[in-house]
Amino acid sequence: MKKKVQRLMYWTLILVGTTILTSDLLAQDTQIKKKDVLKLMEKVADWQIQFISEKKPRNIGNWEYAVGYTGIYELSRISKSKSYRDTLLSISEKLNWKTGRDRYHADDYCIGQLYSLQYMQHKENKMIANFMDLADSIVIKPHNESLAWKNRIASREWAWCDALFMGPPALAYLSTATGDKKYLDVATKLWWKTTDFLYDTTEHLYFRDESNFKKKEINGAKVFWSRGNGWVIAGLVRLLQNMPADYAGRQRFEQLLKEYSMRIIQLQQPDGSWHSSLLAPNTYPVKESSGTGLYCYALMWGVNNGILDAKTYLPVINKAWYTLTSCVAENGKLGYVQQVADSPGLCDENSTKVYGVGAFLLAGSEIYKYLDKHKKFMF
């Protein structure tokens, strides 16, 4: 009986997905304009900031919000409004420039990215003092544990793929802020430790964690979560952003970005998005904006920095951005964000989360930079 219900749900989702794909096909001949990108970014950010102001959540320093702040920060660099910068400073002051309680859990020091960026703007030692203390203790740890998914390993090591957005960029931005190479060195060392454990060299994708090694989707494919892999590729470009051109080992990271990006674009769906399950898109046949935003961001960053070929990737980015814009409601609320999870799942137009907004704004910021130099997308 249980299997019959699962099969019924599966085919129902496929039928629903076919309708969604048909209705979401976008006219790609409409030219993206820089002013429209900025206007939409501000609209989405304003909705999110108002939501935070009204709801007054207690967890404004956790990873969900920290990811959102990375996007708002990038918006603050291109918007004429000072409100975004002031909002972020106010939040950091409320947090007293501290990271989370679970000291070595990457989620709990993702906020360090924001602190380092703010320090580079304002040069106030209080902004990074607490995070530096934590980072110094990370540097001297032996990091010799297995990444097997047990014994609360996530509180000590980067044992799940999401951590590659939360942890390495935080240390890398601190390295840039302080000029101290040791933080970048430990970030790169631990990046490869996690990659050696979670990267599937056949599929060129990352498992979420060890518990997924043997799992299968309904269609028999391996389980590779879209947002999980989005965390990885976005973390990769943020790490590269803080890596000097002559840094030992940089070429290996660039090669990973090229290999990984080529695989990712093969999995883009006709609607321009990446569905929640990369190898079983019809299992969850709905556009998903958080993973799509992270891919759009990373691919555009790669083009902007001369690592990825523009002719190959701009059409993909173009489709992804139009799909992302279709996820924004009239009031600025970003929908189709899969809720907090560790595996693929469904979402709808009412599903929103601040980390999805962060991904959207990061993507928009890189598209804005491209258009600022090139005026229009050139295929």
Residues assigned a catalytic role: 162
Residue 180's identity, in one-letter code, is: D
DSSP classification of residue 286: S
Burial class (CB in 10 A: 0-12, 13-18, 19+), 181: exposed
**Rg, C-alpha atoms of the chain:** 20
DSSP classification of residue 32: P
Range 225-258 burial, b when 16+ CB lie within 10 A, else e: bbbbbbbbbbbbbbbbebbeeeeeeeeebbebbe
Calpha distance 40→38 (Å, rounded)? 5
DSSP classification of residue 30: S
Tokens of 287: 């556009």
- 269 and 283 in contact (C-beta within 8 Å)? no
Calpha distance 27→209 (Å, rounded)? 38
Calpha distance 379→371 (Å, rounded)? 13
Non-local (6+) Cβ contacts of 196 within 8 A are: none
DSSP string, 213-278: TT-B-TTS-B--BHHHHHHHHHHHHHHHHTS-TT-TTHHHHHHHHHHHHHHHHTT--TTSS--SBS
